[in-house]
Structure 1
């Protein structure tokens, strides 16, 4: 019983090492996970994030102020759009939904109102999204705001 267990451990050790070397050779890294490029795993969120819905007149801008205990407070100013937290995950209703907040390409979460706190600076992107999570566009252009925070 001791020898098979030893062989298993040796195989796991070298197999893991070879896997890491192979992944590194292919340029694969364990960076942050960006949810903006694929569907969620559960059926309730099967809508692809690449899908969009056009809402003419929808706008968003973002202002940031440093927080006294670290990070930044973001204030979203929207036009032609209303936050609808109770309808998140439901059917699309023109001009309502929520926002997605990203820092350096990594989704921090959803925003159901016009204020949020982020713990760090970087390249901030805020998108407006329909209740069913599709990204909003206005006249074919993404309804999003971007800014860089040191």
Structure 2
């Protein structure tokens, strides 16, 4: 079996070449690799130094085709709140998805007054009356990739915030307009929303 030794030697030489500047592949494959270039932009963006409060890094992507999110919060009949997300260029990943960043995919983190209350893999969520008590509150939704990095544009996280006010209604009365909270771009119409309510950064 003298050929075995020669084959192993040939594979070892190929391994050394692959670790260097050349490989054992065809010249065309090498040229394609050079055309792509080591410094070419990644389709999943660039990790930044900035991090969220939980230490998760921002993942910067181009504004064109970037994920967008809007949030609407409305009171329900039982004293709780229904949260509805409107997303563009983004799809929710199911439970068990691989822990890696894929363009325009991931989950949303739901915060009430900067406190994380839920991880969302669907566009709807219900806040119980105990979660949001009397007073004015900020409900923020922020988009994350599956590797737990924060989708970001222009160094700012992709997020949207709604302000809601909870008062003590009189028995048997419906919630007032002041108790409703909405924010985010009118995604159906292609709008960007009001600048003081729709934002990518807090």
Same fold (TM over 0.5): yes
- Normalising by structure 1, we get a TM-score of 0.64
Rounded Cα–Cα distance in structure 2 between residues aligned with 1:87 and 1:54? 24
User: Which is bigger in relative contact order (C-alpha 8 A, separation at least 6)?
Assistant: 1
Rounded Cα–Cα distance in structure 1 between residues aligned with 2:107 and 2:144? 5
Matched, 1:129 2:135: no
Q: Which residue of 1 aligns with 2:170?
A: none
Q: How does 1:30-69 map to 2 (within 5 A)?
A: 37-38=53-54, 48-49=55-56, 51-55=57-61, 56=63, 57-69=66-78
Q: How does 1:105-124 map to 2 (within 5 A)?
A: 105-119=114-128, 120=132, 122-124=137-139
Greater share of helix residues, 1 or 2? 1
Q: Which residue of 1 aligns with 2:91?
A: 82
Q: Which residue of 1 aligns with 2:109?
A: 100
**Number of residue pairs matched by the alignment:** 105
Moved over 4 A (4+): none
Post-superposition CA distance 1:81-102 (Å, at most 9, x none):
0000235561111110000000
Residue 95 of structure 2 aligns to a residue in which SS? Answer: helix
| Equivalent residues of 1:87, 1:131 under 8 A apart | no
Post-superposition CA distance 1:63-90 (Å, at most 9, x none):
1110111221011000110000235561
